[in-house]
């Protein structure tokens, strides 16, 4: 699902450590203090809570959009645009719109 | 009992045995003497009570594996008793008609004691032989991917077999000999076991009985003579070297803290340890003290989660390397092989969280963790080979004063909305409250800092913070092996402390606590540093705050390694938790206090990834969840981060929370 969105935007998929631990992505895609630092033009944080270990790897991004069901998640403090809602509902629709 | 020829042969063999032992022990001590930092042997005299307590008291065996420890104690006491027995038996052989207090009550007691103890030792050793060779206890094996030399793998089995057979035969033949003596001279009510066995020889010719008694005497004592020179090559040397190791071990302020390096000294050519002779003498002695029981391996968070590190493999590899190269090494030859090739792989060195569990449980006082820390110094400062992410952390510490690389001007964001006094405005305060990098930047760390300062306000503590003037203590730099960077960070802070005349510091970070209190003391700056749990607990005891018991569900406490094992504080956080429990209980995880299990972040592991094996924090969180407690209490910012990660990954977000003890106390104070 996230991959479809990334493809639609011609972007790259990255993640925080738990996603790598679960084996969904190889460790080279891990962003954070023990991982890669990235600074793309657009960073879409899907369900990222905003823990400091991850944030230090992406805070240089020019535009940050955060989608998280928890309105108090710290990621919204650094996001330029934030959407409070379930990633599973929002992402497929977003992908559709971008593709369309 | 012995004939003249027998006596002469025996004395010649004694001289040969002792002569060979002198040569072999000499090589062993020369090998130890090649180490870089001398052992202060004079300490052995001062510390004799400690040696005796270990040797006779067996007190270091019971922290883990109490049952096996108990059986060991029986064998060890039996063996000690046999030192006296052997001497008495030599007199018995040499002086015709000699009997040790024969009809005196003491002699009777002696015979009874030896008779019974011999049987106990035989049973005990048979159990150990069974455990190693037949039931094959997995605890005695070292799993892949740990580096364990082939000579060690085969040598350990051979050595165990020799030692097992030696004890069985030495004590067995002595016992059989006693039974032949009874068969020849009539029953002795004070040797019930030997009496029973003597029944077997009743029908034997008296001449054969005399011969048999001689053969048993020779086998029992001859085996000892053969074994004495073998000691320096056997792990069984632990029976002298273990207690000696405790007597001469270095006095450390804290288990991971050792001397600083003087970078002005141009004579120093080697920072840290690359080759065996770079290790301090006490670390080489460790190899001779090691009995290869793997208690440290069982404890090690890296090993138990499948990484390349096993602390016992360090000592075992070291010992077999010494055995193989003893002639050359003791003669002073340069072997020129880095330890990373044969003792401990580089990845294994980086896998260590410096939790100190291995040092805590070692029954012979070894410190494998110190070998690792010294090897890291070499890898970082001499070889420049270390995890890439650690480089990133070093750069960020150096440039931004925190390992996350966040702006040093953002250290005061946690204070927003609170009235936190700052040193630069207040100039003077009783207590400096040190929030630390995690307490200033991490979101949960900020919560903890806010809780601490609110508690201080309620208790009327005269405190202040350095805020943006604070900078990383250098803990991670030092544990990763970057002594140079550590000293740089330390000097910045020490200058600040001098500027404000700071003497007393309270911090919520056990890593800052250890570094400020112990590592800075090595640099010559003695500070009175306490952990927030200790300080707040004192506030409660003094009646300055009275938290209301408000927690109705069970709480489990996860010991922070750097508060517990590294600073000896297990009670303060527990007492604080107790003070706020109403219906709930404090429930302990299986591994707690001295045997607490690491969260996985220590020793710099927070800043780089070891991708071999499982995550330590998930393992620990599962243990916490098994207690059925709904709150996991922590007393360290990093434990807090690691345990929250564990909570999310193991799917307990809905039913459990992770909270610092200060947060729990503040909840109890919220109504006042």
Residue that the structure tokens 């250290």 belong to: B411
Residues with Cβ within 8 Å of B504's Cβ and at least 6 positions away in sequence, in order, are: B430, B431, B432, B527, B528, B529, B530
Question: Sign of dihedral through CA atoms B590, B146, B389, B490?
Answer: positive
Same domain for B529 and B585?
no
- Domain annotation covers residue A17: no
**Residue B547 forms part of a structural domain:** no
Interface check A17 vs B, CB under 8 A: yes
| Residue A20 included in any domain | no
pLDDT of residue A22: 84
For range B577-598, the mean pLDDT: 97
Chain B neighbors of A15, CB-CB under 8 A: none
- Contact criterion met (CB below 8 Å) for B156 and B292: yes
Q: Among B367, B384, B401, which residue terminates a domain?
A: B384
Nearest Cα to Cα of residue B421 among B537, B528, B500, B530 = B500
Q: How many Å lie between the alpha carbon of A40 and the closest alpha carbon of chain B?
A: 19
Q: Could you give the C-alpha distances from B504 to B335, B463, B501, in angstroms and in order? A: 49, 10, 9
Contacts of B471 (CB under 8 A, 6+ apart): B401, B402, B408, B489, B492, B493
User: B229 and B244 share a domain?
Assistant: yes
CATH number, domain with residue B422: 3.40.50
Residue A22 lies in a domain: no
Sign of the Cα torsion B65, B67, B69, B71 reads: negative
Read off the pLDDT of each residue in B121-137 and give the average, rounded to a whole number. 93
Query: Does B263 map to a domain?
Result: no
| Residues ≥6 apart with Cβ < 8 Å to B528 | B503, B504, B505
Cβ contact, residue pair A18, B645, below 8 Å: yes
pLDDT of residue B455: 98
Q: Is pLDDT of B671 > 70?
A: no
Question: Rounded to whole angstroms, what are the CA distances from B495 to B38, B450, B469, B523?
Answer: 33, 26, 11, 13
- What b/e readout covers B579-615, taking b as 16+ CB neighbours within 10 angstroms? bbbeebebeebebbebbbbbbbbbbbbbbbbbeebeb
Among B541, B567, B585, the domain boundary falls at B541
Q: What is the CATH number of the domain that holds A87?
A: 3.40.50.1220
Could you give the angle at which helices B483-500 and B388-400 cross, rounded to 10 degrees? 20
CB B324 within 8 A of CB B367: no
For residue A99, give how far its alpha carbon lies from the nearest alpha carbon of chain B (Å): 33
In a domain, A21, yes or no: no
Task: Indicate the pairing of strand B431-434 with strand B504-507.
Answer: parallel
Q: ipTM surpassing 0.85, yes or no?
A: no
Q: Does A63 touch chain B (CB under 8 A)?
A: no
Report the residue of A21, A28, A52 to disrupt the B interface, i.e. the one with the largest count of B CBs within 10 Å.
Answer: A52
B622 interfaces chain A, CB cutoff of 8 Å: no
Q: In chain A, which residues have their Cβ closer than 8 Å to the Cβ of B443?
A: 50-52, 74
Is B268 contained in some domain?
Answer: no
Which residues constitute the domain of residue B583?
Answer: 555-669
Whether residue B476 is found in the same domain as residue B579: no
Bridge partner residues of B587 (DSSP) = B556
Is residue A26 one of the residues assigned to a domain? no
Residue B333 burial (C-beta neighbours within 10 Å; 0-12, 13-18, 19+) = exposed
DSSP secondary-structure letter at B631? E
Q: What average pLDDT does this structure show over B69-78?
A: 93
pTM above 0.90, yes or no: yes
Chain B positions in Cβ-Cβ contact with residue A78 (cut-off 8 Å): none
Asked if A51 and B443 come within 8 Å (Cβ–Cβ), the reply is yes
Looking at chain A, which residue has its C-alpha nearest residue B442?
A52
- The residue behind tokens 């001007």 is B409
All residues of chain A having their beta carbon less than 8 Å from the beta carbon of residue B404 are: 33, 52-53, 56
Q: Kindly state whether residues B182 and B293 are assigned to the same domain.
A: yes
What is the overall mean pLDDT for chain B?
96
**Residue B190, domain member (yes or no):** yes
Taking an 8 Å cut-off on Cβ atoms, the answer to whether A33 and B393 are in contact is yes
Residue B398 resides in a domain: yes
CB-based contacts of B66, cutoff 8 Å, min separation 6: none
- Edge-first strand order for the sheet with B463-464 is B463-464, B431-434, B504-507, B528-531
Domain co-membership, B585 together with B456: no
- Residue B104 vs residues B110, B254, B531, B622: alpha-carbon distances, Å: 10, 53, 61, 62
Residue A36 exposed, middle or buried by CB count within 10 Å (0-12, 13-18, 19+): middle
What are the DSSP calls for B278-290, one per residue? Answer: GS-HHHHHHHHH-
| pLDDT above 70 (res B585) | yes
Instruction: Check CB contact of B43 with chain A, cutoff 8 Å.
Output: no
In chain A, residues 29-48 whose CB comes closer than 8 Å to chain B: 30, 33-35, 37
* Torsion angle of C-alpha atoms A28, A31, A32, A36, degrees rounded to 10: 50
- Please, which residues have CB within 8 angstroms of residue B484's CB and are 6 or more apart in sequence? B263, B381
Smallest Cα distance from B287 to chain A, Å: 35
Between the CA atoms of B116, B122, B127 and B129, what dihedral angle is there, to the nearest 10 degrees? 170
Considering its fold, how many domains does chain B have in total?
Answer: 3
Which pLDDT belongs to residue B260? Answer: 96
CA distances B116 to B76, B175, B178, B181, B273, Å, are: 14, 10, 12, 17, 49
Question: Following DSSP, what letter does each residue of B35-71 receive, concatenated?
Answer: SSS---TTHHHHTHHHHHHHHTT-GGG-SS-HHHHHH
Q: Residue A60: count other Cβ atoms within 10 Å of its Cβ.
A: 12
A86 vs B: CB within 8 A: no
Give the 3-state secondary structure of residue B528: strand
Say if CB B492 and CB B525 are below 8 A apart: no
In this prediction, residues B96-111 reach a mean pLDDT of 91
**Percent of chain B with pLDDT strictly greater than 90:** 97
> How do residues B265-324 score in pLDDT, each as one tens digit?
999 999 999 999 999 999 999 999 999 999 999 999 999 999 999 999 999 999 999 999
Whether residues B465 and B564 share a domain: the answer is no
Interchain CB distance below 8 Å, A33 and B606: yes
Closest approach of B493 to chain A, Cα-based (Å): 24
In this structure, is residue B258 part of a structural domain? no
DSSP state of A56: T
Q: Is there a domain that residue B261 lies in?
A: no
Any domain includes A94: yes
**Which of B393, B443, B649 has its CB closest to that of A52?**
B443
Within 8 A by CB and 6+ apart from B347, the residues are B307, B308, B610, B612
Answer whether residue A82 is part of any domain: yes
Is B618 found in the same domain as B531? no
The C-alpha atoms of residue B11 and residue B304 are separated, in whole angstroms, by 51
Identify the residue whose tokens are 């320096």: B232
Cβ of A27 within 8 Å of Cβ of B611? The answer is yes
Residues B372 and B487 occupy one common structural domain: no
Q: CA–CA separation, B359 vs B370, rounded Å?
A: 9
Q: How far is A100 from chain B (nearest CA, A)?
A: 35
Q: In angstroms, what separates the C-alpha of A62 from chain B's closest C-alpha?
A: 17
Q: Which of A34, A37, A74 sits opposite B608 (nearest CB)?
A: A34
Instruction: Report the 3 state secondary structure along B434-462.
Output: ECHHHHHHCHHHHHHHHHHHHHHHHHCCC
* Chain A positions in Cβ-Cβ contact with residue B648 (cut-off 8 Å): 18
Residue from the list B404, B615, B641 with its beta carbon closest to the beta carbon of A56: B404
Q: pLDDT above 70 covers what percent of chain B?
A: 100
Could you tell me the residue range of the domain that residue A69 belongs to?
2-11+39-99
pLDDT score of B205 = 94
Point out the residue among B389, B443, B641 whose CB comes nearest to the CB of A74.
B443
Nearest CA in chain B to A77: B443
**Strands, DSSP E only, in B457-502?**
463-464
| Spans of chain A, pLDDT less than 70 | none
Picking from B227, B231, B232, the residue whose alpha carbon sits closest to that of residue B330 is B232
Q: pLDDT (tens digit, 9 = 90+) per residue, B174-206?
A: 999 999 999 999 999 999 999 999 999 999 999
Residues B366 and B483 in one domain: no
d(CA B216, CA B198): 14
Amino acid B672: pLDDT: 53
Q: How many domains does chain A have?
A: 1
Integer Cα distance of B257 and B277 in angstroms:
20
Q: Which of B190, B185, B189 is nearest to B201 (CA)?
A: B185
- For residue A54, give the chain B residue with the closest CA: B404
Q: Do B376 and B393 belong to one domain?
A: no
Q: Is B348 exposed, middle or buried (0-12, 13-18, 19+ CB in 10 A)?
A: buried
- A35 neighbourhood in chain B, CB within 8 Å: 389, 609
Asked if A52's CB is within 8 angstroms of B441's CB, the reply is yes
The whole-angstrom separation of Cα B538 and Cα B456 is 12
DSSP code for A44: E
The answer to whether position B257 is within a domain reads no
B173 and B38 together in one domain:
yes
DSSP state of B259: P
Examine the domain organization and report whether B403 and B497 are in the same domain: yes
What's the whole-number mean pLDDT along residues B478-489?
97
Span B360-407, pLDDT tens digits: 999 999 999 999 999 999 999 999 999 999 999 999 999 999 999 999
Residue A84 lies in a domain: yes
| Short-list B267, B407, B286, B276, CA closest to B330 | B276
- Asked if the C-beta of A51 comes within 8 angstroms of chain B's C-beta atoms, the answer is yes
- Which residues from chain A sit within 8 angstroms of residue B608, using beta carbons? 34
- Interchain CB contact of A72 with B (< 8 Å): no
Say what the pLDDT of residue B103 is: 87
């Amino acid at each position: 699902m996230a991959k479809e969105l990334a493809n639609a935007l011609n972007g790259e998929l990255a993640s925080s450590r738990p996603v790598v631990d679960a084996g969904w992505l190889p460790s080279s895609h891990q962003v954070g203090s023990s991982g890669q630092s990235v600074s793309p033009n657009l960073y879409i944080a899907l369900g990222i809570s905003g823990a400091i270990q991850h944030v230090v790897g992406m805070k240089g991004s020019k535009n940050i959009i955060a989608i998280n069901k928890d309105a108090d998640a710290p990621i919204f403090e650094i996001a330029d645009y934030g959407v409070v809602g379930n990633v599973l509902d929002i992402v497929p629709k977003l992908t559709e719109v971008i593709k369309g | 009992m012995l004939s003249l020829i027998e006596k002469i042969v025996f004395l010649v063999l004694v001289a040969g045995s002792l002569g060979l032992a002198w040569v072999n022990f000499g090589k062993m001590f020369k090998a130890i003497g090649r180490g870089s930092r001398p052992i202060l042997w004079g300490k052995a005299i001062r510390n004799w009570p400690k040696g005796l307590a270990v040797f006779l008291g067996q007190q270091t065996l019971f922290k883990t594996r109490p049952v096996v420890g108990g059986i060991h104690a029986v064998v060890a006491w039996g063996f000690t008793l046999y030192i006296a027995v052997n001497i008495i038996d030599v007199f018995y052989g040499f002086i015709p008609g000699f009997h040790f207090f024969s009809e005196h009550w003491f002699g009777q007691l002696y015979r009874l004691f030896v008779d019974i103890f011999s049987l106990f030792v035989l049973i005990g050793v048979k159990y150990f032989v069974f455990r190693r060779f037949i039931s094959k206890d997995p605890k005695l094996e070292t799993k892949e991917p740990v580096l364990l030399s082939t000579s060690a793998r085969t040598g350990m089995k051979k050595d165990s077999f020799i030692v097992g057979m030696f004890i069985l035969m030495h004590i067995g033949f002595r016992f059989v000999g006693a039974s032949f003596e009874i068969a020849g001279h009539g029953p002795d009510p004070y040797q019930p076991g030997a009496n029973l066995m003597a029944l077997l020889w009743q029908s034997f010719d008296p001449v054969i009985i005399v011969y048999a008694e001689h053969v048993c005497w020779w086998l029992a004592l001859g085996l000892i003579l053969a074994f004495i020179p073998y000691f320096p090559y056997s792990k069984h040397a632990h029976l002298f070297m273990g207690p000696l190791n405790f007597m001469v071990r270095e006095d450390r302020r804290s288990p991971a803290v050792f001397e600083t390096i003087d970078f002005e000294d141009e004579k120093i050519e080697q920072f840290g340890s690359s080759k065996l002779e770079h290790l301090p003498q006490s670390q080489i002695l460790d190899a001779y003290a090691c009995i290869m029981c793997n208690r440290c391996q069982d404890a090690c968070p890296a090993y138990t989660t499948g990484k390349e590190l096993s602390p016992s493999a360090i000592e075992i590899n070291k010992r077999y390397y010494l055995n193989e190269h003893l002639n050359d090494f003791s003669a002073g030859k340069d072997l020129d092989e880095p330890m990373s090739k044969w003792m401990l792989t580089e990845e294994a060195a980086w896998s260590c969280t410096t939790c100190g569990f291995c040092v805590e449980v070692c029954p012979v006082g070894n410190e494998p963790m110190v070998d690792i820390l010294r090897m890291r110094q070499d890898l970082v400062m001499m070889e420049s080979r270390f995890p890439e992410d650690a480089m990133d952390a070093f750069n960020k510490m150096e440039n931004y004063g925190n390992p996350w690389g966040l702006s040093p001007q953002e250290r005061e964001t946690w204070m927003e909305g609170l009235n936190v006094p700052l040193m630069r405005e207040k100039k003077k305060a009783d207590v400096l409250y040190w929030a630390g990098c995690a307490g200033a930047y991490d979101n949960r760390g900020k919560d903890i800092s806010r809780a601490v300062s609110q508690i201080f306000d309620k208790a009327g503590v005269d405190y202040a913070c350095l805020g943006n003037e604070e900078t990383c203590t250098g803990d991670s730099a030092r544990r990763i092996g970057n002594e140079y960077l550590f000293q740089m960070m330390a000097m910045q802070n020490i200058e600040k402390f001098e500027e404000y005349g700071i003497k007393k510091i309270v911090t919520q970070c056990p890593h800052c606590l250890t570094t400020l209190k112990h590592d800075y003391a090595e640099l010559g700056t003695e500070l009175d540093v306490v952990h927030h749990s200790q300080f707040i607990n004192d506030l409660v005891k003094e009646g300055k705050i009275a938290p209301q018991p408000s927690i109705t569900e069970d709480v489990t406490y996860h010991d922070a390694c750097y508060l517990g094992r590294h600073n000896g504080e297990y009670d303060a956080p527990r007492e604080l938790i107790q003070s706020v429990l109403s219906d709930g209980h404090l429930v302990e995880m299986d591994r707690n206090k001295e045997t607490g299990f690491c969260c996985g972040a220590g020793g710099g592991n927070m800043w780089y990834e070891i991708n071999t094996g499982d995550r330590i924090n998930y393992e620990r969180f599962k243990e916490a969840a098994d207690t059925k407690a709904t709150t996991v209490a922590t007393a360290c910012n990093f434990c807090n981060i690691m345990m929250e990660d564990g909570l999310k990954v193991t799917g307990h977000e809905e039913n459990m929370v992770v909270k610092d003890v200060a947060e729990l106390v503040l909840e109890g104070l919220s109504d006042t």
